[in-house]
């Protein structure tokens, strides 16, 4: 196992300064770090603590290559997601976010590790717990908070809400409210990618609740028949709303449920394991067709903001996971144990993130709601000048362009 | 029986009992001989096949998927020859899993391909209706224009002959109520060609409701309609026959029945205007209203169930926009309020017949017969 040693503490702080500068000037989460220390890109090989379990395939190595730069990026990205979801909790309780709000805190490693293994040309589709996936695909904090609060600056111009984020140009296809529907849709993306000979793959995310849906097996059958480059990722947080996996699935070994389709069980709280698994899965899917990844993960919040999350699980269980397996803490420990940054530097990063999140919220709060005319936009791409009406047809009519 | 009816060319007789060929404002029989462009005939089946062929040829993003569309040549032979011409990557036989393959089709449309998803009949679309409505129809709106869905869902809709309750449902009203969808219902071969080509080229999700019993029917087609660039506008109804006493609206197979009814009514001195809706959503309210403002009377005809049906919507449109022009209540002819029975005599009683349309038109003109006299 190779360990990186940075030459001096001054180069360590050089590592982090460019990050802050970039953070304040660009909206994206990923920023190039200047080569102040060449050690940024030196390879670190780290062993994942939980080995992979394979079904119908050979598991990849649990020795994962990474770099100091990548680990620091992981920390920053996941800490941002954590902060963002906690802030959304407060906004919901303040009634600035309405309707449904499904939070992802605890599951950050899945979104971040996946992103590290793929490109923006690969597609991702998920269900309604999509804020962090949208962020990882290039969405900004401002777009997210604006959409959650129903403002016109939102990713879907305020017309979608929490469950309907999309970023097509970055390969993110939503954002879906019907449990399980995103699975055939995602396999359709893989079909189109193969049809277009793009050499890319589709990551199709679903939960342990959706894993029992019939349409999943229908679409998986077709994916296997037609050799589609589809990677089904079961984000198993062990509870489908309030129903524990053992009460919903006769066989909760979700990575095996594909039968003839290979599968891999992954520690979903370990960002490096996720990255390794996704890299492996992408190579597999391009050559051999569909594969299932089961991410063993956990959500700290309830199913949604309407669910306290403690009627069907004990507080001990929740705090136990937080202590033993928290994905952000694990990366913090890695960074510290490899001397990639000091505790203070990491705390400063978190402070910086908190500031960014607060600024985005403040800006989103002041931003305008959509214009009433937006009620009638985007019903069709081509409306042929049809008339659409409001509740009182004699009062409100619009022409669809 | 509700079988295939073939038009006889050159019959030249005075009786125009053959079902619906495009009848512009030329009531005299001999006039159609001067229709030099009406020389060619085509079945609806061939019309659909040629439309699919041309659109697949023109745009490599168009592909066809469904049960038996490939090697079987199509359950109703609509896709005959397409597998051989375009190969298994563009003509895809699916397993019998509507929810799965419809979702796959919609996902492919998200990415930018132009799928044509065939339902063997629209009765099976109910297994996939979540994808048609929630994944396809609403996506452009929810994503504020980021995710458009240029997909066509097509297949036979409504009653066939003797297929029973689960295979005879008409879904026009169901799909047409949903914003974000376009719903088309061709009648003639020209309709079939022009509307299917328009549907495939359209950037929005289109539900294309065919009719099994019309597949084998032949209609004259103009030279213009045979051109590969031919398209009919979505949202525009067609006046199949002009008249001045009563307006009869219909779509799909019922257009033929309405035209027959119009012939019978002529003999009784009632001049009926027959409108072929072509487009259920968007509904061509302006053409229908303009017609009723002219005739002052309306009969709506559909094969599906009456409650919350297409006729109900048309009637409301007239009440909202042309109330003062009505000289009689709107009459509504629809399928019986029962699941479709199997026995031939019961089935005949469950779907509209020509005499039902004639009777309703006479009622609208205050020329009805007493109820007891109905056969």
Task: Tell me which residues of chain B, numbers 92 to 151, contact chain A at a CB-CB cutoff of 8 Å.
Answer: 92, 94-95, 97, 99-113, 130-131, 134-135, 139-148, 150
* A376 contacts A155 by C-beta, under 8 angstroms: no
> A304 has which bridge partners?
none
Instruction: Give A210's contacts in chain B (Cβ within 8 Å).
Output: none
Confidence of residue B19 (pLDDT cuts 50, 70, 90): very low
Interchain proximity A380–B134, CB inside 8 Å: no
Minimum mean pLDDT range among A191-205, B24-38, B181-195: B24-38
Would an 8 Å CB–CB cutoff place A380 in contact with chain B?
Answer: yes
* B151 contacts B125 by C-beta, under 8 angstroms: no
Interchain proximity A380–B140, CB inside 8 Å: yes
The pLDDT of residue A34 is 41
The pLDDT of residue B32 is 44
- E strand intervals along B78-158: 91-93, 114-118, 152-156
Question: Three-class SS of residue A336?
Answer: helix
d(CA B37, CA B220): 9
d(CA A201, CA B369): 69
The pLDDT of residue A41 is 84
Rounded to 5 degrees, what angle do the CA atoms B335, B338, B341 make? 95
The pLDDT of residue B370 is 57
Interchain proximity B146–A393, CB inside 8 Å: no
Q: What is the mean pLDDT of chain B?
A: 91
Structural tokens at position A306: 């309407």
Q: Could you give the residue numbers annotated as active site of B?
A: 98, 167
Structural tokens at position A6: 């940075």
Confidence of residue B368 (pLDDT cuts 50, 70, 90): low
* B63 contacts B90 by C-beta, under 8 angstroms: yes
* Residue of chain A nearest B316, judged by CA positions: A393
* A253 contacts A45 by C-beta, under 8 angstroms: no
- Selecting from A222, A379, A394 the residue whose C-beta is nearest the C-beta of B180 gives A379
**Burial call B326-350: b when 16+ CB within 10 Å, e when fewer:** beeebbbbbbeeeebbeeeeebeeb
The pLDDT of residue A401 is 82
Average pLDDT of the residues in B139-145: 98
Instruction: Give B103's contacts in chain A (Cβ within 8 Å).
Output: 181, 183-185, 187-188, 215, 219
Instruction: Give B317's contacts in chain A (Cβ within 8 Å).
Output: none
Structural tokens at position A107: 């599951």
The pLDDT of residue B36 is 52
- Selecting from A175, A178, A184 the residue whose C-beta is nearest the C-beta of B104 gives A184
**Between B209 and B22, whose confidence is greater?**
B209
How many CB atoms are closer than 10 A to CB B61? 18
* B154 contacts B115 by C-beta, under 8 angstroms: no
Task: Check the CA dihedral B135-B141-B144-B148 and report its sign.
Answer: positive
d(CA B277, CA B271): 19
d(CA A109, CA A303): 18
d(CA A78, CA A87): 14
Question: Three-class SS of residue A70?
Answer: helix
Task: Tell me which residues of chain A, numbers 214 to 233, contact chain B at a CB-CB cutoff of 8 Å.
Answer: 214-215, 217-219, 221-222, 225-226
Task: Tell me which residues of chain B, numbers 339 to 358, contact chain A at a CB-CB cutoff of 8 Å.
Answer: none
The pLDDT of residue B372 is 55
How many CB atoms are closer than 10 A to CB B107? 34
* A172 contacts A124 by C-beta, under 8 angstroms: yes
Helix, strand, coil in percent for chain B, rounding step 5? 40, 15, 45
User: How close A83 comes to chain B (CA, Å)?
Assistant: 25
User: How close B109 comes to chain A (CA, Å)?
Assistant: 8
Task: Tell me which residues of chain B, numbers 11 to 70, contact chain A at a CB-CB cutoff of 8 Å.
Answer: 63
Confidence of residue B371 (pLDDT cuts 50, 70, 90): low
User: How close B148 comes to chain A (CA, Å)?
Assistant: 7
Would an 8 Å CB–CB cutoff place A55 in contact with chain B?
Answer: no
In sequence order, the 6+-apart residues with CB closer than 8 A to the CB of B280 are: B172, B173, B175, B176, B183, B184, B185, B209, B251, B310
In sequence order, the 6+-apart residues with CB closer than 8 A to the CB of A233 are: A110, A114, A203, A204, A205, A206, A292, A293, A294, A295
Task: Tell me which residues of chain A, numbers 84 to 123, contact chain B at a CB-CB cutoff of 8 Å.
Answer: 123
Question: Three-class SS of residue B14?
Answer: coil
* A13 contacts A236 by C-beta, under 8 angstroms: no
**Between B340 and B14, whose confidence is greater?**
B340
In sequence order, the 6+-apart residues with CB closer than 8 A to the CB of A329 are: none
Rounded to 5 degrees, what angle do the CA atoms B12, B19, B173 make? 160
Q: Which residues of chain A, if any, have pLDDT below 50? A: 1-37
User: How close B180 comes to chain A (CA, Å)?
Assistant: 5
Would an 8 Å CB–CB cutoff place A371 in contact with chain B?
Answer: no
In sequence order, the 6+-apart residues with CB closer than 8 A to the CB of A211 are: A234, A236, A249, A254, A257
Instruction: For tokens 């509904």, name the residue.
Output: B283
- Full-model pTM: 0.89
Average pLDDT of the residues in B210-215: 98
Interchain proximity B108–A195, CB inside 8 Å: yes
User: How close A364 comes to chain B (CA, Å)?
Assistant: 18
Helices (H) and strands (E) in chain A, counts: 12, 12
């Amino acid at each position: 196992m190779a360990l990186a040693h940075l030459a001096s503490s001054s180069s360590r702080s050089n590592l982090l300064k460019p990050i802050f500068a970039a953070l304040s000037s660009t909206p994206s989460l990923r920023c190039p770090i200047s080569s102040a220390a060449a050690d940024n890109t030196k390879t670190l090989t780290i062993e994942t603590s939980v080995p992979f379990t394979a079904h119908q395939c050979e598991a990849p190595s649990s020795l994962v290559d990474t770099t100091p730069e990548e680990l620091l990026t992981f920390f920053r990205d996941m800490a941002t997601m954590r902060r963002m979801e906690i802030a959304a909790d407060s906004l919901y309780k303040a009634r600035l976010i309405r309707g449904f709000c499904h939070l992802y805190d605890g599951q950050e490693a899945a979104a971040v590790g996946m992103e590290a293994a793929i490109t923006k040309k690969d597609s991702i589709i998920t269900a309604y717990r999509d804020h962090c996936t949208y962020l990882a695909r290039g969405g900004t904090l401002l777009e997210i908070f604006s959409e959650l609060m129903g403002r016109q600056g939102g990713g879907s111009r305020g017309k979608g809400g929490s469950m309907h984020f999309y970023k097509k140009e970055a390969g993110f296809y939503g954002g879906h409210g019907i449990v399980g529907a995103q699975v055939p849709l995602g396999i359709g993306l893989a079909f189109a990618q193969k049809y277009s000979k793009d050499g890319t793959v589709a990551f199709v995310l679903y939960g342990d609740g959706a894993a029992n849906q019939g349409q999943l097996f229908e679409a998986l059958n077709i994916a296997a028949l037609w050799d589609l480059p589809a990677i089904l990722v079961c984000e198993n947080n062990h509870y489908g709303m309030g129903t524990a996996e053992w009460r919903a699935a006769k066989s909760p070994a979700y990575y095996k449920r594909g039968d003839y389709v290979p599968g891999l069980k992954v520690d979903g709280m370990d960002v490096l394991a996720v990255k390794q698994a996704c890299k492996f899965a992408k190579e597999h899917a391009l050559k051999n067709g569909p594969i299932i990844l089961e991410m063993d993960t956990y959500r700290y919040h309830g199913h949604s903001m309407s669910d306290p999350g403690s009627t069907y699980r004990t507080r001990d269980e929740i705090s136990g996971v937080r202590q033993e397996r928290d994905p952000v803490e694990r990366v913090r420990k890695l960074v510290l144990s490899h001397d990639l940054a000091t505790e203070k530097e990491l705390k400063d990063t978190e402070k910086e993130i908190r500031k960014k999140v607060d600024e985005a919220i403040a800006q989103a709060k002041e931003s305008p709601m959509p214009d009433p005319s937006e009620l009638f936009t985007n019903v069709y791409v081509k409306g042929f000048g049809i008339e659409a009406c409001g509740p009182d047809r004699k009062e409100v009519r619009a022409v669809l362009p | 029986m509700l079988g295939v009816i073939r038009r006889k060319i050159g019959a030249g007789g005075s009786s125009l009992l053959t079902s619906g060929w495009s009848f512009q404002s030329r009531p005299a029989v001999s006039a159609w001989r001067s229709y030099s462009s009406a020389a060619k005939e085509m079945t609806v089946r061939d019309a659909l096949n040629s439309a699919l062929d041309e659109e697949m040829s023109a745009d490599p993003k168009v592909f066809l998927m469904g049960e038996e569309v490939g090697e079987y040549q199509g359950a109703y032979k609509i896709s005959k020859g397409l597998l051989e011409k375009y190969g298994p990557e563009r003509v895809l036989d699916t397993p019998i899993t509507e929810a799965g393959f419809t979702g796959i089709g919609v996902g492919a449309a998200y990415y930018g391909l132009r799928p044509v998803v065939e339902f063997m009949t629209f009765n099976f679309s109910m297994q996939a209706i979540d994808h048609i409505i929630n994944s396809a129809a609403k996506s452009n709106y929810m994503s504020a224009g980021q995710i458009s869905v240029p997909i066509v869902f097509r297949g036979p809709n409504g009653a066939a002959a003797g297929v029973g309750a689960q295979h005879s449902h008409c879904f026009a009203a169901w799909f047409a109520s949903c914003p974000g969808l376009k719903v088309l219902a061709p009648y003639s071969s020209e309709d079939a060609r022009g509307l299917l080509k328009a549907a495939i080229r359209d950037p929005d999700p289109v539900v294309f409701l065919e009719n099994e019993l019309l597949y084998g029917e032949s209609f004259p087609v103009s030279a213009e309609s045979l051109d590969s660039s031919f398209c009919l506008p979505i949202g525009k109804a067609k006046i199949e026959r002009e008249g001045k006493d009563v307006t009869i609206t219909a779509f799909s197979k019922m257009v033929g029945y309405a035209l027959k009814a119009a012939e019978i009514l002529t003999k009784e001195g009632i001049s009926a205007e027959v409108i072929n809706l072509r487009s259920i959503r968007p509904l061509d309210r302006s053409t229908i209203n303009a017609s009723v403002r002219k005739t002052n009377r309306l009969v709506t005809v559909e094969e599906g169930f009456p409650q919350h049906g297409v006729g109900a919507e048309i009637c409301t449109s007239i009440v909202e926009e042309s109330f003062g022009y009505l000289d009689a209540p709107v009459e509504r002819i629809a399928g019986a309020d029962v699941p479709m029975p199997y026995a031939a005599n019961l089935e005949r009683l469950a779907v509209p017949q020509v005499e039902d349309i004639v009777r309703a038109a006479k009622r609208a003109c205050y020329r009805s017969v007493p109820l007891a006299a109905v056969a």
